[in-house]
Chains A and B, each alone.
Chain A
């Protein structure tokens, strides 16, 4: 049954994936309740793709990842990752995938990174050739300065970089990142994204990423899958999702002097005005550009400053959930 994985082939193939949890509550008289974390989920990822896996907390993202990587068995349905059944061939699959859980460490808290990588190389039975790969990762993730510091003394940003190098040391075909940028400062996030883009360009690693961060989605993924209550609510690209839920980009105009509401600018919809029209918020309708709007504004009022707000993931997901629930 097991097929040998080759390039261009399906990396993730899930059909009807379902996972129930039995939740026991109450002290003396205990009640059992079955919670469906993932319900009848289909998911396909082809080699070389970068997929954003998005949903609210508790939507079933982590449960799905655990089923794809062999940590949890599905209650129903089938899944093949890198051509393997994750449960039966857990160890063979472990050589093909790298997984980072942003909020849980997979390193040894009392070991320095250098030592951790030595142990991981032994665990994966990497030959002396892994030295080259390690040097590449140390350089690209800028780990050199704290390679000899015990993991427990690293900052969050340093630790996440260390974790990602650990997950990539054995050159996996699939990299799974669960909230990798959570809690990082803007600069750390940006460096991490730049690294991942370069790493994928160099090695063609397939990426599955869960995140709450819109910039992660935009910079790192080709395609997104949104889950809601354990099922796929949307699969496609980000602009398509934004169009579908009507989450527009917003232009915030700061004007030199109080101005009457700019209600009739072509290509926009007025959302709000503040301080007698000193600040006005306009939704940018699909098809219009910020440049055209600015040219129009310039003729009417002196402009002091402007910002453009992208719709954030939470907002888009919330709108999608709302339309789904309204539409049945």
Chain B
């Protein structure tokens, strides 16, 4: 009685390979974002403006002082470029997942649970925000200029560090977004708190960690490892010593910090999702 063609199409095939489903999801999202060119261009411009204002803030600070936390304006521009590039890329890739409460309310999460893919992977690929490239572009521009104006000895080690840091830094911020998303399963109205966590760590990352008091320094190094995304690598690249408790060579540990953040992120996500489906607590 079973219909043969139906049975045939039901069998999971390797259609599109392992990543096929995600490729289809992401490309459909991108196409829909690019559908209205002018509106997309304005969005990108707006995102660029956000980055510009952030950088202007740093510039204003340096109009009254010349050194902050051991870094001059050029050094701080390097720090800003690294931190902002990582954060804006993370925001582009996974920034939308702080909208978990909306996804819960509209039933989008239920729809994810009814599809044969992991929920987090669906969530990440469901709404990549290409418009945030504006901010990344500004960060990249600042970074390139900073690399030119700073007295940097481009040894193989420094070049390696310059390649590793944005990737690992992006991973750290992505992980922080996932942690925040996991927490929001408990705090349905907690997006403000979660934002404080993600955007707050971005803010902390764009300033030299040494200007903070010791407890804050510990927080932004060990608890929320924002210092690893830019400050410590910046010290290494400029050949500066680090403050007490955070030696500059820790700048090499950014990938490890990223791994640690992702370990916590996956646990928080799993616990959050289990809380939602009622499997846990």
Task: Indicate, yes or no, whether A interacts with B.
Answer: yes
Question: With a CB–CB cut-off of 8 A, which chain B residues contact A203?
Answer: 3, 6
Report Cα–Cα, A95/B21, bound state, in Å: 14
Interface pair B110/A104, CB less than 8 Å apart:
yes
Interface pair A70/B113, CB less than 8 Å apart:
yes
B215 at the interface (CB under 8 A from A): no
Known: A95-B10, A125-B12, A133-B6. A111 touches B32 (CB 8 A): yes
For A, the interface residue count at a CB cutoff of 8 angstroms equals 47
Report Cα–Cα, A171/B13, bound state, in Å: 14
Interface pair A108/B113, CB less than 8 Å apart:
no
B156 at the interface (CB under 8 A from A): no
A324 at the interface (CB under 8 A from B): no
Report Cα–Cα, A130/B23, bound state, in Å: 18
Q: Name the CB-closest residue of B to A103.
A: B107
Interface pair B21/A125, CB less than 8 Å apart:
yes
Instruction: Give the interface of B toward A (CB within 8 A).
Output: 1-3, 5-10, 12-16, 20-21, 23-25, 28, 31-32, 35, 106-107, 110-111, 113-118, 277-279
Q: How far is the CB of B30 from chain A (nearest CB, A)?
A: 12
Question: With a CB–CB cut-off of 8 A, which chain B residues contact A231?
Answer: none
Interface pair B106/A104, CB less than 8 Å apart:
yes
Question: With a CB–CB cut-off of 8 A, which chain A residues contact B277?
Answer: 71-73, 87
Interface pair B28/A108, CB less than 8 Å apart:
yes
A10 at the interface (CB under 8 A from B): no
Report Cα–Cα, A128/B23, bound state, in Å: 17
Mask of A50-72 contacts with B, CB within 8 angstroms, 1/0: 00000000000000001001111
Interface pair A122/B15, CB less than 8 Å apart:
yes
A244 at the interface (CB under 8 A from B): no
Interface pair A171/B25, CB less than 8 Å apart:
no
A106 at the interface (CB under 8 A from B): yes
Most chain B CB within 10 A, of A7, A116, A130, is at A130
Report Cα–Cα, A111/B127, bound state, in Å: 12
Q: Which of B6, B8, B21, B111 contacts A122 (CB 8 A)?
A: B21
Report Cα–Cα, A106/B23, bound state, in Å: 19
Question: With a CB–CB cut-off of 8 A, which chain A residues contact B116?
Answer: 91-92, 94-95, 123-125
